[in-house]
Structures are given as structure tokens and as C-alpha cells.
Amino acid sequence: MRRLVAILVASLLTLVVSTGVAAAHAKLESMTPADGSTAAAPPTEVVLTFNEPVGSTGAVVQVRSPGGTTVSTGEIKVIGKVVTQPVDGLVEVGKYTVDARIVSADGHPITVTASFTITHAGHPATPVGTPATENSGSNTVVIVAMVLVMLVVVALAVVIVRRRPAPDAQ
């Protein structure tokens, strides 16, 4: 019985230690153009910088014009803790909104809602290849795998305890 308890305690300790990273989720540190800022010239990209590296799986950044048209173009780039979304066709004067969903390294989704204002119209959008699409995966697979490993460890502990011969009764 002591062996089973030791195995279960070791398994739970491993699970708790491995989730220590999950306790701290990535947070947005800055955005370019800055949230609430006003600029005369339209930007060519929106850059989100986080306090720790983020994943590229499932990363989506949508930038919309004052009229609601999506001006995000090209593929999103995720390098370490920096997410870059190219934009084009910022021809309207007014407030542009940024809606982003990024997945931190621990699998926690981060949502960002921000805006910036353009005071002078830019150039019309230039044709670009197909827009980036949202990937349909996330770190959920890693979490499921961890749970399955824990179940296997517990099942093995139960098998070991049951196979153990009972002490001889005298």
C-alpha cells in the first residue's frame, strides 16, 4: 500500500510541477500603432508585443476600417513574443479596430481589443495572395496527452498493487 501511495504522490507532484508554467499567462506589453493613438500616415503593419513568447497555432489578428472592412492582409508572423500582421488599404479616415486572439505558450488564449485613428487617407489595397486562415489546433493536445499519461501511471499503480501477493495469514 505504501508503494501505491508513493507512486500516486510522485505522479501528482509531477503534474503540479509541470503546470507551474501554466500559472503565468502571456500579457500584451505594447502595440504599434499604440492603442488609442492618432497618426496622419497609415501603418503598413500592426505589431503586438507580449511579455513572453506566444504560439503561432491559432493566432489571428483582424484589423478593421471605420467602415468595417478588413484591412489585414498577408500572413501573420509570430517570432518569440512578437506578433506582426501586415495591413493594407487603409484609405478611410477614422478609427481602426484591432481584434486579436493569440495562444500563449501554455495554451491559454489571449484576446486583444484595441484601436487607433488615422487622420489622412492612405493608398488602396494592393492585391495579395490568400489571406491568413486560423489554424485549427492548439495546445489542447498537450494537455490531453498529460492527462492520458497520468491515467496510465495510476492504472499501472493499481495493477502493481493488485498483483502483489497477500501476506500469509498465520
Domains and CATH numbers, the chain: 2-163 (2.60.40.1220)
Query: How confident is the model at residue 82, as a pLDDT?
Result: 96
Query: How confident is the model at residue 154, as a pLDDT?
Result: 83
Question: In terms of pTM, does the model score above 0.85?
Answer: no
Query: How confident is the model at residue 132, as a pLDDT?
Result: 41
User: 86 is written with which cell numbers?
Assistant: 501586415
- Strands 82-86 and 54-64, by their bridges, are unpaired
Of residues 49, 51, 15, 55, the one with CA closest to residue 33: 49
| Mean residue pLDDT across the chain | 81
Say if residue 168's pLDDT is above 60. Answer: yes
User: 24 is written with which cell numbers?
Assistant: 503565468
Top pLDDT among 26 and 37 is at: 37
Query: How confident is the model at residue 1, as a pLDDT?
Result: 74
- Separation CA 83–CA 26 (nearest Å): 12
Mean local confidence (pLDDT), 64-89:
94
Of residues 116, 105, 109, the one with CA closest to residue 134: 109
User: What is the pLDDT confidence band of residue 130, given thresholds at 50, 70 and 90?
Assistant: very low
Of residues 102, 112, 109, the one with CA closest to residue 80: 102
